[in-house]
Amino acid sequence: MESLAMLEKLRQVNASFPYTEPMRKWKEKGKKVVGWLCNYVPEEIIHAAGMLPVRLTADSKELEMPDGDAYLHIYSCSFTRSIFQMAREGQFDFIDGFVATAMCDGSRRLADVLDEYKILPLIYTLGVPRKFGERAEALYRSEILNCKKKMEAFFSIKIPDEAIKESISVYNRTRQLFRRLYDLRKSSNPPISGAETLEVLNASVRMDREEFNQILESLLQELEQRRIPSEGKTRLMIDGSILNNVEFIKGIEDLGGLIVVDGICNGARYWEGTVKDSSEPISALAQYYLNKFPCPRFDPPGVRLDKVLDLIKAYQVEGVIYEIIRYCNTHTWDYPILKSQLDENGIPILELDLEYGAGASGRVKTRVQAFLEMLREKKEAR
């Protein structure tokens, strides 16, 4: 498989995680970095303030978490405990502020303990409704507005609407480029693997967004000339909890699977759709973020289930792998609802209960290999 120059650039960004080289250059210019945790934090507000939005994740491997286990309950998911461990060790000391959400108990408790012990400077914990509709949008709009005001007070700045509109344009460009990238994966021989796609996604939230957009646009041009034979591979969708470990995806693809699409929060759920052009950018952001490809915490679940089924059809998915970070209640509750829907539509699903950062261990490979063999036998029997 030939090397892609732009993909190598993004790999270099990820290789310098957590304080990536683009972040270092940003800070050397005297600019600020603001961390965020969840898909429902509008990065555009941070970007419009002239600051670098950085998604806080832990490393792409399992960590020893003595502090995470001590300060957070063991039943908190290993994603939040891993982030706390890294923060406690000073690995996020370059962060000038942190915007959290109340999306789940794990993220709320993480924000609480980071604030209580002054490990990271918490700016605001954004409340997010669980339902759709005008009242929910109005509530969410007020939360975004409060977050904006908190940022302005925290940093003694003003964030004008025109700056927010410009940032919306920058981030909409990212969404359009990701749409093009994912559309390439619909082909019978996608020019980019699932593991490579995750590398692109990881880098997108660890660097300057304008620079990332330029690199992604050039990468798309490279991919137009790339050919990767994938005959005999089984087309899969990955869904479930946040996933940053490229080796986990690579392990699945080395066994003969091909991840052609996903439903994870740092994947398709991150970039799907675009923010509408509006004279009231805060309202436009509230409408977009609340109505895009939803998290499983939203009610009714049918909106998310329909989206998953649409992706399965569009990407010719033969089976779904649903990875759940241990003690991630949101996705644990989602699984039986999703499985029931997929069973009705004849789509096999494999559940994998993992620790955050886990790779393709022997146990995982054995289960995935059996799943792939079942899918192949099913295909041959048609």
Q: Is the pLDDT higher at 379 or at 332? A: 332
What's the whole-number mean pLDDT along residues 190-218?
A: 98
Contact by Cβ (8 Å): 36, 120? no
Burial string for 299-328 (b: 16+ CB within 10 Å, else e) reads eebeebbebbbebbeebebbbbbbbbbebb
Angle between helices 161-184 and 281-291 (to 10 degrees): 30
Q: What is the pLDDT of residue 1?
A: 54
Q: What is the pLDDT of residue 307?
A: 97
Least confident of 57-61, 108-112, 282-286, 315-319: 57-61
Q: Point out which residues pair with 259 in neighbouring strands.
A: 236
What's the whole-number mean pLDDT along residues 131-150?
A: 97
Contact by Cβ (8 Å): 364, 358? yes
Residue 371 pLDDT greater than 60, yes or no: yes
Residue 209 pLDDT greater than 90, yes or no: yes
* Residue 61 pLDDT class (50, 70, 90 cuts): confident
Q: What is the pLDDT of residue 360?
A: 87
In the predicted model, what is the mean pLDDT of the chain?
96
Q: What is the pLDDT of residue 2?
A: 62
What's the whole-number mean pLDDT along residues 86-115?
A: 96
Closest CA to 128 of 164, 110, 109, 104: 104
Residue 221 pLDDT greater than 80, yes or no: yes
Q: What is the pLDDT of residue 3?
A: 72
What's the whole-number mean pLDDT along residues 139-144?
A: 98
Q: What is the pLDDT of residue 230?
A: 84
Q: What is the pLDDT of residue 379?
A: 85
156-186 pLDDT, tens per residue? 999 999 999 999 999 999 999 999 999 999 9
Q: Point out which residues pair with 234 in neighbouring strands.
A: 257
Q: What is the pLDDT of residue 59?
A: 77
262-272 pLDDT, tens per residue? 999 999 999 99
* Residue 75 pLDDT class (50, 70, 90 cuts): confident
The percentage of residues in the chain with a pLDDT greater than 90, rounded to a whole number, is 93
Which pair of tokens denotes residue 362? Answer: 């022997």
Contact by Cβ (8 Å): 222, 6? yes
